[in-house]
Amino acid sequence: MPVDSPVVAPPDLLATVQGIVSEVLMVPAASVQLNSRLHDLGAESIDYLDLLFRIEEVIGRKVPVSRWETFVNERLPGANLAEAITVAFVAEFAEGERRRS
């Protein structure tokens, strides 16, 4: 898949990812919008692993951490990750992984 061609997650997966982010970061669901930056919601590096584990539960299979790292590096080269990783970005990753099933 070309780097400039984002995967669009279906509404149900978007809502699921929003719920996961709310749970993992222990923030009110209403504060988790698609354009919310995870860093602004209080995410720390360990939280990304928890998010990945929860995505695995949703899609029903293991996802190597290296695939998340590759996705981030390909989609956000040189970006300030604290500013760039949003709920929508995580949903895009989850949808790409779901499609791999």
Q: Write the CATH number for 51.
A: 1.10.1200.10
Q: Is residue 57 part of a domain?
A: yes
Q: Which of these, 59, 70, 68, 74, lies nearest to 90 by C-alpha position?
A: 68
Q: Is residue 91 part of a domain?
A: yes
Q: How many CB atoms lie within 10 A of CB 2?
A: 6
Cα-Cα-Cα-Cα dihedral sign, residues 76, 82, 85, 90: positive
Q: Is residue 5 part of a domain?
A: no
Number of separate domains in the chain? 1
pLDDT per residue as tens digits for the range 5-39: 455 566 788 899 999 999 999 999 999 999 999 99
Count Cβ atoms within 10 A of the Cβ of residue 62 and give its class: 0-12 exposed, 13-18 middle, 19 or more buried: exposed
Tell me the average pLDDT across 48-74: 94
Q: Is residue 4 part of a domain?
A: no
Q: Is residue 25 part of a domain?
A: yes
Q: Is residue 6 part of a domain?
A: no
pLDDT per residue as tens digits for the range 64-93: 999 999 999 999 999 998 889 999 999 999
Q: Is residue 75 part of a domain?
A: yes
Range of the structural domain that residue 26 is part of: 11-100
- Report percent pLDDT > 90 for the chain: 74
CA–CA distance, 101 with 97 (Å, rounded to integer):
7
Query: What pLDDT shows up at residue 7?
Result: 52
Tell me the average pLDDT across 56-71: 93
